[in-house]
Chain A
Amino acid sequence: MLRRAGLGVTVAGAALLLGAAPAGAARQVTRLTTSAQGELVVGWHGDHAAGCADRGTCAFSGTYELPIGGGATQSEQVSGNATLPPQIQLDSGQPTVVRARRDAPGGPGLCVDVVSSDLSGVSLVQAPGRRLALQPGGLAGAASGPLAGRCAGPLFSDLPTGFPTVQAPARLGSKPVTLDFSGRRAFSAGGWSGEVTSTVKVTLTVTRHAAPRSERIPRAIRAYLAKRRSIQFVTLEYRAQQVAAGLGVAFRGLPDPACEPFDACGASGTASWSIGGPVAKGPLILLSAERRLRPGEPRDLASALRALREGQMHVTGGGDLGSNGRAQSAEQLPGGGSCSDSTPAGAPSLNVASRRGRVSFAFGGPQELSPELFRTRCPGPLLADAFGQGETLVVGRVPERVLAARTLRVGGQSAGGFTGSGYLGSRRATLLLVLRRVRARVEPVGVGAP
C-alpha cells in the first residue's frame, strides 16, 4: 500500500530543501525528464484453449485502453552523471478505459469502467540485458492485480511481462533520446487470449544546472529547530506468530439504470480476500514510541517501558503482512451463467498509531491507495465501493499499556452495508494478530522539536 504520489514528491522536495550543501561548493543538479506519448491497448477474449471454461469467462471479450503521456515526470540527482532510476512512473493523467462485452442469448451486455492511472498506470522499468520495458501496474504495484475495474478481464499477471522492450541508451547526454516502444504481442493466459498493442514513445532529456540558492532552511523552520528539546525514542520489534485477516462482500447489481453501465443488472455474488494461518517466521511489525524527557528523568529501557505502560509515549509504526493473500469470487451473471475465480493477492499494509491511551492496528487508512484485494477476472464491485476510498478497512485496538508485554494479541472486526457504483451489498472484515516482541531498544536521546 502506497502513500499518494504527491506526498512522495513533497518528501523528496523537503529532503532536497533540507540537504545541507557543502560550504562554498557550487552544487550541480542533474535533472532527468521523462515524457511519453501514445497508448497501450489490450484486446482480449475468453479462450477455451487457455482455460476459460474453468472460470466461466468464455463469453467475455473486451479492451483496455491505457493512454500514456500528457505530462512529464522528472527525477533529480545532486551532481554526477544522469542514471536511470529502477522505475519511472510515466505520467498519464488520463485513466484507463475498460470495456468488456458479455455475449448472451438475449443480446450482449456491455460493461464500461474507468480505472485510475494510479492503479493501472504504466512504468518504465529496467529489464534484463540492458533493456528498458513498459510495465503496467500503477503506483499500487499491483503486479497480479486487476486492471478491469468492475468489469471482467485479464489480470496484470495474464499480460506479457515487460512488453514491449527496447535497448537502453548507452549514455544520457544533453541531447534528448526518444525510445520507440511500438509493437504488438499476443498473449494467452488466465483463460484469455489477446494482443497488446503499443504506440508508446518515451523521450528522456537530461539537463544540468546549479542548485537554486533558495535551498536553505527557511527562517521559521530554523527558529523552530533551534528550540532544543530532549526526545527519547523506543523501537519495538514484533514478529507475527499468527495472522488471520479477511475482507468479504456479498453483492448484487443496483436497480436499473444504475447497474447498466457495469452490466450488473441481475448479477449477484460474493468476493473475498484472506490471508492467514500460523507462520513460522512471520512478518516483522516495527513500532516506534517517543516521549519528551524532562531534565533528570531516567533514560533506560525499563523507564521507557514504564512510560509506555502509563500511556506517556506516542506510538507509530506498521508493517507489511506479506504477499500471500488470496482473492476469490463467485458470481451469478445477468441472465444466467456463472463466473468464479481465485487469484493470488497482496495485502494492505498495517498502520499502527496511538491515541488517548489506546493503540490501533489498522488495515488501510486516509491518504492510502489500497491494491484491489478481492477483485478477480470476474466482474464485481471494487474495494472502494464496499469499504470507501481511503477508509480504514478494519482496525483492532489494544490499551497502550499492553505494549510493554512480550506477547500481544490484537483483534478487530467490522461489518456494514454499502452502495457503490453499479453494486450494493454487505461487507465484513476481520483481523487477528498474535505478535511476539523480539526486540526492544532505546535509541540515543535526540534533540529536536517534538
Chain B
Amino acid sequence: MRARAAAIVVGVAALAAPAAASGQGIFQVVTSIGGPPFLPQRVVDAPVAVSGQMVVRFHGDRAAGCEASGLCDTSGTITWDPGRTAEVFATLGVAGGRRESDVYITFGDYPPLSGARTVAEVRRTRPDGSRAGCADASTDVSDLEARGRGLALDVGFARGGLLGTRCGGPLDEDIASLLPVRRVTFSQLERGGSRLDLSAHGAFASHGLAGQLDSTVVLTLARGRNHNLVPPNIRFKRRRMRVLDVSYALDQLSGQVAVDFAAGSQPALCDALDACDLSGTVALAPVASSGAARLSAQVPERVSALALLQRTGLVNGRSGKPIPLRGFVGWKGGGAITATTSRPGGPACSDRIPMGADAILLDTSGGALHAGYSPLGMSNADPVRTRCPGPSTADVGQVQALATATAPLAALRQPTLTLRFTRGAGFAGAGYSGSTKPNLTVVLKRTRVRERVVTQRIEVDPLSG
C-alpha cells in the first residue's frame, strides 16, 4: 500500500515537473491533486529514539451496535510496536504563497526486526461455544505524518492503517480522537533533545466495537542536520522541452467495484487467519463532489507542436512513433466502502467506511487509452480493510488495478471522454483469493488543450566527469 501511495505521489510530481521547470533547487515541486504546488526551502532530518507501544483492546459491544454489525462474538488486541529507532524528516516550503511544513517520521531502521509492526490477535466465539482465533501482522504502516503552518509542526499518528490487519477489528478512525498531537518547531528539531510524548489512555466505542486504547509511545529527538537544498557542487544543464497538457473536468462518477473473496489455498494459513470458512464482499463505491483529469506528454522542443498533437493521437493525420500521454483523474468527495462477510452458521459481519479523495491512473499505449482504478484513499489506509475480517492489499495485489478500462485513442479527439470500468482481475493471495467485479463509469469533459515550451534545469550526474 505504501509503495503504491509513493508511486502515485511520484507520478503526480512528475506531472507537475514541467510547470516547475523554472523553479530553483534540486527538489521537484510536489503537488497534491487540487492543491497548490509545494516548493521546499529548508530540510532538517534527525535520528529519533523511540520507546513504548500502542495497544488497543476491544470487544463486540451491544451499546455500540455490535448486533447490527455482527461483531458481538469478537474480541481481541491490536498492538502497534514502533520499534526502537526512527528518523524524522521535516521540510519547510511555500505552497500557494504561504509557508507550509511537512514532517515524516519513519520508524524502524535496518533490518526491520527492530522496525514498526502491527500485530493483531482477534478471537471469536463459534456458535457451538468453542473459540477460534486470528493472528496476523503487518509492516505496511511505519510512519507518522504531520503538516504544519510555518515553523511549527504538529506531530501525531497518521490516520491510515496503524491498526489494519486481515483479522478485522477497530480502525484508526475509531481511536483517532484519543490520539495526541504534539507540537515541535524547526529550531527544536535542529537542537535535538526534545521529547514528544505521544502517550494516551482512553476508552472508545464505535461501529459495534468498544475498548481501551493505551499508548506509551515517546519520541526523543537527537540533534538534527540541516540540508542545503542546492549543494555547491551540483551542476545543472538547461533543456528546452515541448509540453502538452490536456485538461478535463470530471462530469460523472458512478457505479462500484466489488471485491469477492474466500479463504486462500493455504490450509495452514487460513486456519491461522480463522478464514477457512469465511467468504464475503468488499464494495468500493466512490462519489465525487468535484474532480479533474489531466493527460500530459513532453518531448524535446525540436518536435513540432503539430507532430506532438498527431503522435499523441489528439489530432488526426500522418504521424511517426507514438508519444505516450500519462495522467490521472482525481476527485474529492465521498462514497463508501461496504463489507459483508459470512460463515456457515455464524452471524454475518457488515461494515461501512466513508471514502475520501481518490484517483485513477491514465496512460496511452498501443493505440489506446488505458485507465486503472487502484483505490489509494490518498492515505495510508488499506482500501479493502474494514472492521470485518477479510483480505488486505497483500492478498489482492499491490500493483494490480482493481478495475481497468480501455478506450480508443480517437476518444481523445472528442469533447467528452467516457471510461467504462468493466474488466476486473482475479487474485490468489496466501490468505485470501477471489476476484474483482467492476461496474464503474467515469465521464470527463475536456476543458483545455495547452501546448507550450518550457526550460528545464537538469542535474548533471556528478559521476559522469
Interface set, chain B 363-412, CB cutoff 8 A to A? 394, 398
Tell me which residues across on chain B come within 8 A of A369, comparing CB atoms: 111
Given contacts A65-B430, A67-B430, A119-B111, contact A257 B55 (CB under 8 A): yes
Within 8 A of A (CB), among B70-112: 77, 79, 81, 84-85, 109-112
Which residue of B has the minimal Cβ distance to A107? B131
- In this assembly, does B53 line the interface, its C-beta being within 8 Å of a C-beta of chain A? yes
Alpha-carbon separation in the docked complex, A98 to B268 (Å)? 12
A21-52 interface code vs B (CB 8 A; 1 in, 0 out) = 00000000000000000010111100000000
Check B139–A94 contact: CB distance below 8 A.
yes
Q: For the complex, give the distance between the alpha carbons of A149 and B139 in Å.
A: 15
B158 interface contact, C-beta 8 A: no
B398 — nearest CB in chain A belongs to which residue? A70
The answer on a CB contact under 8 Å between A389 and B268 is: no
Bound form: Cα–Cα A99–B115 in Å: 18
A331 part of interface (Cβ distance < 8 Å): no
Query: Which of A212-220, A237-245, A271-279 touches B?
Result: A212-220
Contact at B268–A63, with CB atoms within 8 Å? yes
A95: B residues at CB distance < 8 A: 112, 139
Pairwise interchain contact B268-A43, C-beta atoms closer than 8 A: yes
Contacts of A410 in B (CB 8 A): none
- CA distance in complex: A70, B393 (Å): 12
A97 to B124, CA, bound (A): 21
Q: Which one of A110-118, A160-168, A172-180, A341-349 contacts B?
A: A110-118
Tell me if B463 and A218 are in contact (CB < 8 A): yes
**Quick one: given A62-B272, A369-B111, are A261 and B464 in contact (CB under 8 Å)?**
no
Task: Tell me if B113 is interfacial: C-beta within 8 Å of chain A.
Answer: yes
Number of interface residues of A (CB under 8 A): 50
Q: Would you call B117 an interface residue if the criterion is a C-beta within 8 Å of the partner chain's C-beta atoms?
A: yes
Question: Main secondary structure on chain B at its contact with chain A?
Answer: mixed
| Residue from the list A70, A94, A214, A258 in contact with B463, Cβ < 8 A | A214
Q: Is B430 touching A199 in the complex (CB atoms < 8 A)?
A: yes
Contact B113 A257, beta carbon cutoff 8 Å: no
The distance from the CB of B460 to the nearest CB of chain A, in whole angstroms, is: 11
Given the known inter-chain contacts A107-B131, A112-B137, please indicate yes or no for A389 contacting B114, CB distance below 8 A: yes
B141 at the A/B interface (Cβ < 8 Å)?
no
Find out whether the CB atom of B113 lies under 8 angstroms from the CB atom of A382.
yes
Say yes or no for B462: interface residue by CB 8 A criterion: yes
| B250 interface contact, C-beta 8 A | no
What are 10 sample pairs from A and B whose C-beta atoms fall under 8 A apart?
Answer: A43-B266, A114-B119, A119-B111, A197-B265, A197-B266, A214-B464, A217-B465, A257-B57, A369-B111, A421-B81
Query: Which residues of B line the A interface, CB within 8 A?
Result: 3, 53, 55, 57, 77, 79, 81, 84-85, 109-115, 117, 119-121, 131, 133, 135-137, 139, 214, 265-269, 271-272, 394, 398, 428-430, 461-465
Query: A94-B394, A195-B268 given. 12 additional CB < 8 A pairs?
Result: A42-B268, A67-B430, A70-B398, A94-B139, A97-B136, A110-B135, A112-B119, A114-B112, A197-B265, A197-B267, A217-B465, A369-B111
